[in-house]
Chains A and B, each alone.
Chain A
Amino acid sequence: MIMLSTRGLESRNLSGSPARMVMRVSEQHDRPKGLRAREAFLITDSNLPEGFGLYMAFAKDAASLGGLPSQAKTIILPDELVYLADGDVMRLWPKNNAIRVLYRRNSFHNHFLLTERCNHYCLMCSQPPKNIDDGWIADDVLAAIPLIDPSAQEIGFTGGEPTLLGDDFFRILRAMKSYLPRTAVHILSNGRLFSSPEFAKRYADIRHFDAMIGIPLYSDVSTIHDYVVQSDGAFDETIRGILNLKHYGQKVEIRVVVHRQTYARLPPLAEFLARNLTFVDHIALMGLEITGFTRANLESLWIDPVNYQQELYRAVSFLADSRMNVSIYNHQLCVLDERLWPFARKSISDWKNEYMPECLGCREKENCGGFFASAKIRYSDHIGPSPSSESRKGTPASFSI
């Protein structure tokens, strides 16, 4: 697991700096001089090009910092940031040397958390809401976007509930379109604010070339969905939001977290989606992440995935046979019905992903997404290396994809 948030070891000349510094990481000695002031140079050898806004070195190279002018801003990085590379974007809090890596150029899984505020209180929330004024986050994101390499393929926006940012939400999307016109955008939202046609239209009017909103729907039954997200009326507003988004031609993905409260009605939910929301672009059925509120509600949420494979198979096969795009996220291959393997994706962000001791020697490791690091707390009793392909021969492919 990769640490994105950490603390610098020692810094110099940072007092008097702004409360937060959002900077691009550079390793290029010949970086154009005009750009250097906003960038943090990562020292790897004795080269010390002048004019950078910040100089960074790992403990082993700390001595090189001595060669810099006395007023240069410097910081020593902990070894866990060894992955930092040219083109990454980070945020530094000079007051306590806290560092958060916001964007990694080498990763396929970059996302920005836009706020910790939320109008839901999901039983299994992996990012428990905080009712605070964290508008400064949006400011930092707006500062970071211009620093990101335009070759970035996709960036995610999460929360909390991103749409609660209001005007800043649209501002950020317009900045994405403006600075990163070929970067796809994937937003996680409960969709409720889109139940206002004006809000949906405002979103559509951005005319982003490739934006998708991932919206959770946990049941075909309103009461169950409202219970899981702990908000009365959520189901109705979310669906109206989806309908409006589709009315304005926007891409929508449905996300379903599978746990003890939602597994039983997966097949009726699949039918509900195919009959009522047939136009959605993708459906993701996801495994439980044992973090945040999940730990508090573990007894009402935990079910060993092998125990819901029947429901999962019926739901996925119905959706696939109804020609909808469906994927399974965050499930290890060994707990999945083998007929569902073609739908399983390696979905866990590389910075969250791990394997368990039982995985030793498994042939399918390459194809399997592994676990969330948090899974150590609770995971299936049935993890084990996949049987040899000999014993798997003769399993019929039961349906076309």
Chain B
Amino acid sequence: MSKFQPLSDYQQSLVDGYQLLPFRFTALDDREYVLTNQAGEFIVMERSTLEALVRHRLPATNQFYDDLKSKHFIIDHDSSVAMDLLPLKVRTKLGRLADFTGLHLFVVSLRCEHSCPYCQVSRQSDNKLAFDMSVETAEKALVLVFRSPSRGIKIEFQGGEPLLNFSLIRYIVERAEAWNLAERRDLQFVIATNLAVITDEILEFCRDHDILISTSLDGPADLHNANRPRPGNDSYERAIAGISRVRDAVGRDRVSALMTTTKLSLGRVREIIDEYVKQGFRGIFLRLMSPYGFAVKTKWFKAYDVDEWLEFYFAGLNYILELNRSGNSFTEFYAATILAKMLTPFEPGFVDLRSPAGVGIAAIVYNYDGDVYASDESRMLAEMGDKTFRIGNVHRDRYEDIMTSDALLGPIEESFAASVPMCSDCAFEPFCGADPVFHHATQGDVVGRKPISAFCTRNMAIFRRLITLMRDDDEVRRIFVRWANSR
């Protein structure tokens, strides 16, 4: 039809060529590479295409050209709106930074009746004065909590076994709620407990104040009890009974479970997942090996534990995918967090996978004695004798002193992934994080040399596996999109 122009009339780039937009690339496998832009969007292609792309030899007729344009890896004369959209996307990803510290952990007591070998902190003692947080300390900590500008404030009670100091939990909840009448933040409470000492009174309180329970479930009974000894050797039975009671009293989804992976867990991932399915959980967080002894890894060899753990993790992931394929919706939460970064415009805010590091600026710990730590691992490190990441004390320091202390800002700044060797080049950096505490503990400096970093090895293996799975299987990709967008 003569009054309609053909497609070629709208394609200036056939003549004019293209400009590169900022992107990074890293090998995916021995065939292909992953390219990512500043907003974490990714594309997979062979090295020959990548080379042609970078050297401005990629023709507009190439099968990747349109995708590279619309995903904002290149720009040509046909369209300039990429320069409006790209900054907006990056802004969305960085938005959480301005929220600042949202997760506040209160260690209300170190006392505990379990004696789990992987725990650094608990005290088998009845001395409440020595090992319980005082009202005075809690008050001072609450002042600091509400100094955070974050819209959402989550107060999590930890220990030892925090329920052994339930009266203080009650006090803190009521004080925080009263304070919040004026503050009007989105205030949430969590209690991390082994559930062995839960009572009806406590359950009622949790129901009345909408408190979430986070408990430990390491797997089937024998595994769980071997990991978590207590008098009577009935940790598992109490946990299961406790979960049931919480569900009845507070609500089905008000209790979640975390597992700790130990040497005993390796080789039993299917059973662990089956246990979680059996107990009615909607997903599982396949966690790292317990940090017990993590300080003793040698420098020059990648810890063999990383490979063993990856085998464990991937076996678990495969099994979970099998479950999903047969119609059972069940999520692996670590993958889901990473997938949210890969597949959505949002930043999930998981404190352990953030750059700048989440220490202090996303999560913070108020210990029973008033010491303030940049993270839970920072506290455990202190229990082992290393107080590098203690950033203040509620009785002595003001908010400003703590949040601008060198002990906090130094590690955040130095470990910032976009600036450090290898990470600054890495295509996976938008999905990854900085972990100054781990690198300090294993290598003696907060940055760590990534080629020998278990953190890096582990995460890169996971990123590669997730992208490869999506590349090779549409159904897995759909499952992953759902995980990425689940709350």
Q: Is there a direct interface between A and B, measured as CB atoms under 8 Å apart in the complex?
A: yes
Contact residues of A with B, CB < 8 Å?
A: 121, 123, 220-224, 226-227, 230, 232, 235-236, 239-240, 243, 265, 268, 271-272, 274-276, 278, 296-297, 314, 317-318, 321-323, 396, 398-400
Give the size range of B's interface with the partner: 35 or more
Q: Is B81 an interface residue (CB 8 A)?
A: yes
Bound together, the chains give a CA A321 to CA B484 distance in angstroms of 9
Q: Mark B456-487, 1 if CB is under 8 A from A, else 0.
A: 00000000000000000010001001100100
A275 touches B89 (CB 8 A): yes
A322 touches B70 (CB 8 A): no
- Residues in B with CB closer than 8 Å to A268 are 66-67, 70
Q: Which of B66, B81, B89, B343 has the most CB of A within 10 A?
A: B81
A275 touches B67 (CB 8 A): no
Q: Is B127 an interface residue (CB 8 A)?
A: no
B7 touches A222 (CB 8 A): no
Could you pull out 5 A-B pairs where Cβ atoms are within 8 angstroms?
Answer: A230-B5, A232-B9, A268-B66, A275-B344, A317-B478
Q: Which residues 39-86 in B have Cβ within 8 Å of A in the complex?
A: 39, 41, 66-67, 69-71, 78-81, 84-85
Q: Knowing A276-B89, A399-B478, say if A265 contacts B4 (CB, 8 Å).
A: no
Q: Which residues 1-43 in B have Cβ within 8 Å of A in the complex?
A: 1, 3-7, 9-11, 13, 39, 41
A240 touches B84 (CB 8 A): yes
Task: Give the Cβ gap from B74 to chain A, nearest Cβ, in Å.
Answer: 12
- Residues in A with CB closer than 8 Å to B66 are 220-221, 265, 268
Bound together, the chains give a CA A268 to CA B69 distance in angstroms of 11
Task: Give the Cβ gap from B344 to chain A, nearest Cβ, in Å.
Answer: 7
A321 touches B10 (CB 8 A): no
Task: Give the Cβ gap from A133 to chain B, nearest Cβ, in Å.
Answer: 21
Q: Is B283 an interface residue (CB 8 A)?
A: no
B10 touches A223 (CB 8 A): yes
B4 touches A321 (CB 8 A): no
B345 touches A222 (CB 8 A): no
Q: Knowing A222-B78, A227-B10, say if A239 contacts B85 (CB, 8 Å).
A: yes
A232 touches B10 (CB 8 A): yes
B7 touches A224 (CB 8 A): yes
Residue of B nearest to A318 (CB): B481
Task: Give the Cβ gap from B487 to chain A, nearest Cβ, in Å.
Answer: 9
Task: Give the Cβ gap from A264 to chain B, nearest Cβ, in Å.
Answer: 10
The prevalent SS among residues of A at the interface is helix
Task: Give the Cβ gap from B420 to chain A, nearest Cβ, in Å.
Answer: 27
A275 touches B481 (CB 8 A): no
Q: Knowing A236-B79, A318-B481, A323-B485, say if A243 contacts B88 (CB, 8 Å).
A: yes
Bound together, the chains give a CA A367 to CA B116 distance in angstroms of 60
Q: Is B385 an interface residue (CB 8 A)?
A: no
Bound together, the chains give a CA A274 to CA B84 distance in angstroms of 16
Task: Give the Cβ gap from A306 to chain B, nearest Cβ, in Å.
Answer: 20
Q: Mark B381-405, 1 if CB is under 8 A from A, else 0.
A: 0000000000000000000000000
Q: Which of A123, A235, A272, A398 contacts B79 (CB 8 A)?
A: A235
Residue of B nearest to A229 (CB): B10
B485 touches A321 (CB 8 A): yes
Q: Is B327 an interface residue (CB 8 A)?
A: yes
Known: A223-B10, A236-B79, A236-B81. 9 other contacts (CB 8 A): A221-B70, A226-B78, A232-B10, A239-B84, A243-B85, A274-B344, A278-B92, A296-B1, A321-B481
Q: Mark B328-365, 1 if CB is under 8 A from A, else 0.
A: 00000000000000011100000000000000000000
Q: Which of A232, A275, A323 contacts B39 (CB 8 A)?
A: A275
Q: Which of B4, B13, B69, B81 contacts A121 (CB 8 A)?
A: B4
Q: Knowing A223-B7, A399-B478, say if A278 contacts B345 (CB, 8 Å).
A: yes
- Residues in A with CB closer than 8 Å to B474 are 314
- Residues in B with CB closer than 8 Å to A321 are 478, 481-482, 485
Bound together, the chains give a CA A243 to CA B4 distance in angstroms of 29
Bound together, the chains give a CA A123 to CA B3 distance in angstroms of 10
- Residues in A with CB closer than 8 Å to B78 are 222-223, 226
Bound together, the chains give a CA A218 to CA B71 distance in angstroms of 16
Q: Knowing A224-B7, A275-B39, A297-B4, say if A396 contacts B327 (CB, 8 Å).
A: yes
A322 touches B1 (CB 8 A): no
Bound together, the chains give a CA A399 to CA B324 distance in angstroms of 11
Closest 8 CB pairs of A and B: A222-B79, A220-B70, A236-B81, A226-B10, A321-B481, A227-B7, A223-B10, A227-B10
Q: Knowing A123-B4, A227-B7, say if A243 contacts B84 (CB, 8 Å).
A: yes
